Amino acid sequence: MKIRNVFALPFVAMCAALCLTAVAPTNAANITPSLVAFKQIGPHAFEVITSWKIVELPPKGYVVFTHIVSPVPTDNGDILTQADSGIDAPETWKAGSTLTSKPIVVDMGSKIADGTYLYTVGMFSPTGGDRLELRGNDDGSSRYVLGKIIVSGHGATLASPGLPTVTPLQEGLVDAWPTVVNFLQTGNKSISFQVSYDVKTPFPAGFETFGHVTILNPDAKHDAIAAGGPADDIATDKWPVGQKHVTPVINITLPDTTPDGTYNIRVGLYASKTDGHRLKLAGTDDGGLRYVVGSIVVSGNGAKVDFKK
């Protein structure tokens, strides 16, 4: 099987000029990328395989990009390097199919610093520069985080706890996509919204919706700065299959110390009456069984809060 290597660095710099600045997406497609395999193959090098679930085709002219995101700034912003996607050109895709990439070899460089890096993908238009809105763990710039890469020993050891990916088992458990509806700013640094679930398969009983406002770094344990949940929702096992279920309103107020900036809204379902475990939904989560449903942009010290899908 042919291995596709990372592009040469001069080409990376050229691509970065096209991909670096995200323009707010004007188009969207029901496409879910996920990471299905990771292994270290040598010092500071690893191999991955990705999967792309294509429910509907992307608009013409969009191409796939891959960014390895660095925790410290580089000459290309936060992009450490860009890798080959390992899949066929979008012009050959078919709706209703799932594509699996060829093994993709990524060399992070001999001077790689220890830390946590992100493996992200997306689609952008080389002519318009805008990125396509896909489904998955959006980092706030229409890039989709497929996994974390933890570097230690300056690349001697690479590990990826990854982010749980969409699998047939996961989709067979609860096939439902959460989205935000009826977003409102209700006060200084205060917001309200509802969560709509497109219910494809029955839900088990005993779960409740929660919403987190988080920093952009997808740390599933330490990034929530505010939380909330709806009151008096009907039991999850009573949600009608084949219809959309919309929760009651969720109210969240950010801490007074929250600076202006962009934050994620992540939602999920947890077993509130028992052990608190979270429910797997048919989507790519952030490692904590939470699903990114949009971002908020806080400005004017909280006087204005705008929502972005």
Angstrom distance (rounded) from CA 283 to CA 66: 20
Q: Give residues with Cβ within 8 angstroms of 288, minimum separation 6.
A: 220, 221, 268, 278
* Residue 246 pLDDT greater than 60, yes or no: yes
pLDDT at 214: 86
* Residue 232 pLDDT greater than 70, yes or no: yes
Handedness of CA 221, 305, 267, 79 (dihedral sign): negative
pLDDT at 49: 87
* Residue 13 pLDDT greater than 60, yes or no: no
Q: Give residues with Cβ within 8 angstroms of 276, minimum separation 6.
A: 270
Give the mean pLDDT of 196-215.
87
Angstrom distance (rounded) from CA 288 to CA 239: 24
Taking Cα atoms as reference points, which of 46, 78, 77, 51 lies closest to residue 64? Answer: 51
Give the mean pLDDT of 193-208.
87
Residues paired with residue 210 on neighbouring β-strands, in sequence order:
268
pLDDT at 173: 54
* Residue 274 pLDDT greater than 80, yes or no: no
Q: In this predicted model, what pLDDT tens digit does every residue of 33-88 receive, in sequence order?
A: 988 788 888 888 888 888 898 999 999 999 999 999 988 888 888 899 999 999 98
CB atoms within 10 A of CB 301: 12
All structural domains of the chain: 9-159 (2.60.40), 168-308 (2.60.40.10)
* Residue 263 pLDDT greater than 70, yes or no: yes
Q: Which pLDDT band, with edges at 50, 70 and 90, does 31 fall under?
A: very high
Of the two residues 298 and 160, the one the predictor is more confident about is: 298
pLDDT at 265: 92
In the block, tokens 């993908």 appear at 121
Amino acid letter, residue 12: V
Q: Which pLDDT band, with edges at 50, 70 and 90, does 224 fall under?
A: confident
pLDDT at 61: 93
The DSSP symbol for 36 reads E
pLDDT at 162: 54
Residues paired with residue 107 on neighbouring β-strands, in sequence order:
45
Q: Which pLDDT band, with edges at 50, 70 and 90, does 12 fall under?
A: very low
Of the two residues 186 and 216, the one the predictor is more confident about is: 186
Amino acid letter, residue 13: A
If you average pLDDT over every residue of the chain, what do you get?
Answer: 81
Of the two residues 148 and 107, the one the predictor is more confident about is: 107
Q: Which pLDDT band, with edges at 50, 70 and 90, does 24 fall under?
A: very low
Give the mean pLDDT of 209-231.
77
Residue 289 has, within 13 A of its CA and on its CB side, a CA count of: 14
Q: Give residues with Cβ within 8 angstroms of 268, minimum separation 6.
A: 178, 209, 210, 278, 279, 281, 285, 288, 289, 290, 291
Q: Which pLDDT band, with edges at 50, 70 and 90, does 184 fall under?
A: very high
In the block, tokens 């952009």 appear at 216
Q: Which pLDDT band, with edges at 50, 70 and 90, does 221 fall under?
A: low
CB atoms within 10 A of CB 97: 11
In the block, tokens 């706030």 appear at 140
